[in-house]
């Protein structure tokens, strides 16, 4: 299986060259509780903290409301590492997070059909 070249962070044979624990600074837990369906959006506020390239890339994905799961997919990082990056951005005021809506019935057919329709449009 080959990995497409996406700049210096990926190698065709080895995959990601930067390990996830390096991206998160060795941390294993985010400072904020984030659900995979939480919506993240950039606030436009300038951060006083220095962030690495992964933080900048995550921030760039948050110009409109974007779920944590979608950001993790675009970054090609594990969800927990993505949550750590996003919690850093939250702590600096660069992004705001809205919790997911609570669904009374997660097995509601109309909800499942809407998800299936969205997935089909992506393919």
Mean pLDDT of the residues in the chain: 79
The arithmetic mean of pLDDT across residues 86-109, rounded, is: 81
pLDDT at site 1: 42
CA-closest candidate to residue 51, choices 18, 73, 4, 84: 84
Q: Give pLDDT tens digits for 8-29.
A: 555 455 455 556 666 666 676 7
Alpha carbons 87 and 117: distance in angstroms, whole number: 31
Q: Does 61 have pLDDT greater than 90?
A: yes
Specify the pTM.
0.66
Give CA 44 to chain center in angstroms: 18
Strand 39-42: give its sheet, edge to edge: 66-67, 39-42, 95-98
């Amino acid at each position: 299986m080959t990995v497409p070249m996406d700049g210096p962070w990926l190698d065709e044979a080895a995959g990601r060259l930067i390990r996830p624990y390096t991206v998160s600074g060795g941390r294993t837990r985010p400072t904020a509780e984030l659900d995979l369906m939480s919506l993240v959006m950039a606030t436009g506020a300038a951060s006083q903290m220095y962030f690495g390239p992964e933080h900048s890339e995550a921030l760039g994905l948050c110009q409109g409301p974007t779920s944590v799961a979608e950001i993790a997919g675009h970054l090609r990082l594990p969800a927990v590492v993505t949550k750590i990056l996003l919690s850093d951005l939250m702590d600096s005021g660069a992004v705001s997070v809205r919790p997911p809506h609570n669904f009374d019935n997660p097995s509601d057919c109309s909800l499942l059909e809407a998800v299936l329709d969205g997935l089909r449009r992506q393919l």
